């Protein structure tokens, strides 16, 4: 399906996201023939960047999309991009913006349809939405057939109360079906493939439950640090930045029941049931860490407290791990261990499903440990995207010894390297009005309800041993202890 003609209006267009991700994504969609031919993009920001915006975006598209400067397809695309400067609380500015969009409608035949993208700091989400409402841009006028949708970036709130408040403020102006809360993990092919793997095949789902699965691990490890985002990260930390959103989205795909269709409502309902079946996460099932100086990829790096614009006594966590249980028929008694952190040994995002042992050990293992290694399904979300199944095989020779081998599917080998970033699919879906891969109000509040008590408990007790892991390591010891309590170990990064 090709979306209807429309204008994509990006608030916060001077930020990195627009240049690095959004414009390259739109360009790709255009080149793949997935954008309507009647189409325009407007970048909105507070500073006057009219002279530099075009060249800057062009640079972003070239870098992010591997496009050559003199590519003949670039110019017609760039001609559809314009820049508009306004303060976000300036009523006159919003009136002018409205007029600018109307002009573009006449010029490009975009027919009044609007996709607003709020790529701004979270404190502006509600203000901008309110102003769109006040200036008649938030809802189609009565009798009008055109549509208005608003994509809202993360972070969506900083705890349950602020998320509720933000939802209320936005819902005051927009109907829920106009709101697209983005989590770019849902745009990743490999995350979507979790559902395809489970529900598009006949052989996995019968064993996807407490009878066969011992435990599940979800890891979002990054080797990068905070990349100059000190002031943001100081307030965020690993839970707010990654665990509450990206990792919980992945968890819901791993654990949800088959929806009765792939429609937004059906998928969101099943996800919500997973989050609501988690009956709280006791604080003693959580650990936090902060990196000190160390070596990443052979290079010395500073500790978190030495990063630019970070307090030298900061207690912000750059690593967090939790153990939770989903108390429903499928999962009762199966622990899920989740961890996310910066400056770890490697960049790896993956889901590890560890199966139960066979009832009897008939064979000897070749490994140093006495126990035969379990069957493991690993879904590698990034990098080296793919899925593997670990199982035991007979080592050739006169004795019957077992070794662990891997059956592996690699995206790159099977389908070639994809240049798509998650934003492509999500922008397209929003233009089509399909909210399946976006967060719903209830879902956001359900995940905040789980993490808010943890954050509150952490805030009360000073993190005594920070920093407690060296940059470039596998994370703090307390994370290992969390699993050791259950007689388990994390898979190695």
User: What is the set of active-site residues?
Assistant: 246
Name residues contacting ligand BG6, limited to 348-387 (CB under 6 A).
349
Closest CB 240 distance from ligand BG6, rounded Å: 9
Residue 151 gets the label, from left (phi > 0), alpha (psi -120 to 50) or beta, of: beta
* Gap between the Cα atoms of 247 and 397, Å rounded: 44
> What does the DSSP assignment read for 399-463?
S-EEEEEEEEEEHHHHH------HHHHHHHHHHHT--TTSB-HHHHHHHHHHHHHHHHHHHHS--
Residues in binding contact with ligand BG6, number by CB under 6 A: 5
Reduce the DSSP state of residue 331 to 3 states and report it: coil
Is the separation of the CB atoms in 149 and 427 below 8 Å? no
* Tokens read off for 427: 């922008």
Burial class (CB in 10 A: 0-12, 13-18, 19+), 334: buried
Nearest residue to ligand BG6, scored by beta-carbon proximity? 241
Task: Look at phi and psi of residue 33 and say left if phi exceeds 0, alpha if psi is from -120 to 50, else beta.
Answer: left
**Nearest residue (CB) to ligand BG6, 148 versus 191:** 191
Each residue 333-352 as x (binds ligand BG6 by CB under 6 A) or -, in order, gives ----------------x---
272 vs 348, beta carbon nearer ligand BG6: 348
Binding mask 224-253 for ligand BG6 (x = CB under 6 A): -----------------xx-----------
| Residue 222 found at the interface with ligand BG6 (CB under 6 A) | yes
> 């929806």: which residue's tokens?
259
Residue 270 sits in the site that holds ligand BG6 (CB under 6 A)? no
Compute the least distance from the CB of residue 262 to ligand BG6, in Å. 23
The answer to whether 424 contacts ligand BG6 (rule: CB under 6 A) is no
CA-CA distances (angstroms) from residue 53 to 67, 138, 213? 18, 26, 52
Q: How far is CA 107 from CA 85, 97, 139, 405, in A?
A: 20, 15, 22, 61
* Residue linked to tokens 């949708």: 149
Which residue, 382 or 404, has its beta carbon nearer to ligand BG6?
A: 382
Closest separation in Å from C-beta 246 to ligand BG6: 6
Q: How far apart are CB 70 and ligand BG6 at their closest, in Å? A: 31
Which one, 39 or 156, has the nearer CB to ligand BG6?
Answer: 156
Nearer to ligand BG6, 114 or 154 (CB): 154
Q: How far is the CB of 393 from ligand BG6 (least distance, A)?
A: 33
Nearest approach in angstroms of CB 242 to ligand BG6 is 6
What residues contact residue 51 under an 8 Å CB cut-off, 6+ apart? none
110 or 421: CB nearest ligand BG6: 421
The binding site for ligand BG6 (CB under 6 A) comprises 154, 222, 241-242, 349
């Amino acid at each position: 399906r090709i979306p209807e003609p429309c204008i994509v209006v990006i608030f916060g267009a001077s930020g990195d996201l627009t240049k690095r991700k959004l414009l390259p994504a739109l360009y790709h969609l255009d080149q793949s023939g997935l954008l309507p031919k009647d189409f325009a993009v407007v970048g909105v920001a507070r500073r006057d960047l009219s002279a530099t915006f075009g060249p800057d975006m062009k640079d972003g598209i070239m870098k992010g999309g591997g496009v050559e400067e003199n590519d003949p397809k670039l110019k017609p695309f760039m001609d559809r991009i314009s820049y508009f400067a306004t303060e976000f609380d300036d009523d006159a500015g919003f009136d002018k913006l409205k007029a600018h969009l109307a002009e573009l409608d006449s010029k490009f035949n975009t027919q009044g349809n609007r996709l607003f993208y709020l790529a701004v700091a979270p404190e502006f989400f509600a203000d901008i939405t309110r102003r769109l409402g006040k200036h008649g841009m938030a809802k189609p006028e009565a009798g009008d057939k055109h549509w208005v949708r608003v994509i809202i970036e993360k972070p969506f709130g900083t705890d349950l109360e602020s998320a509720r408040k933000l939802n209320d403020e936005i819902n005051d102006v927009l109907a829920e079906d106009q709101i697209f809360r983005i989590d770019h993990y849902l745009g990743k092919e490999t995350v979507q493939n979790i559902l395809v793997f489970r529900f598009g095949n006949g052989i996995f789902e019968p064993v996807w439950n407490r009878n066969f699965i011992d435990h599940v691990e979800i890891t979002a490890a990054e080797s990068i640090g905070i990349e100059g985002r000190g002031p943001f990260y100081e307030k965020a930390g690993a839970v707010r930045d990654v665990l509450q959103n990206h990792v919980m989205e992945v968890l819901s795909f791993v654990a949800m029941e088959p929806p009765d269709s792939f429609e937004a409502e059906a998928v969101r309902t099943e996800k919500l049931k997973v989050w609501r079946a988690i009956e709280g996460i006791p604080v003693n099932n959580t650990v936090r860490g902060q990196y000190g100086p160390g070596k990443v990829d052979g290079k010395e790096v500073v500790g978190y407290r030495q990063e630019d614009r970070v307090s030298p006594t900061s207690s912000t966590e750059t690593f967090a791990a939790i153990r939770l249980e989903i108390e429903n028929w499928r999962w009762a008694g199966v622990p899920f261990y989740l961890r996310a952190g910066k400056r770890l040994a490697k960049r790896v995002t993956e889901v590890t499903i560890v199966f139960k042992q066979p009832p009897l050990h008939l064979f000897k293992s070749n490994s140093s440990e006495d126990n035969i290694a379990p069957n493991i399904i690993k879904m590698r979300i990034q990098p080296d995207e793919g899925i593997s199944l670990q199982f035991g095989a007979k080592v050739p020779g006169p004795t019957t010894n077992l070794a662990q081998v891997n059956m592996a599917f690699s995206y790159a080998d099977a389908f070639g390297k994809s240049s798509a970033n998650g934003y492509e699919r999500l922008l397209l879906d929003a233009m089509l009005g399909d909210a399946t891969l976006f967060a719903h109000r209830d879902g956001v509040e359900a995940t905040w309800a789980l993490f808010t008590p943890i954050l509150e408990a952490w805030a009360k007790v000073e993190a005594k041993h920070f920093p407690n892991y060296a940059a470039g390591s596998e994370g703090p010891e307390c994370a290992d202890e969390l699993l050791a309590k259950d007689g388990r170990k994390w898979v190695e990064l």
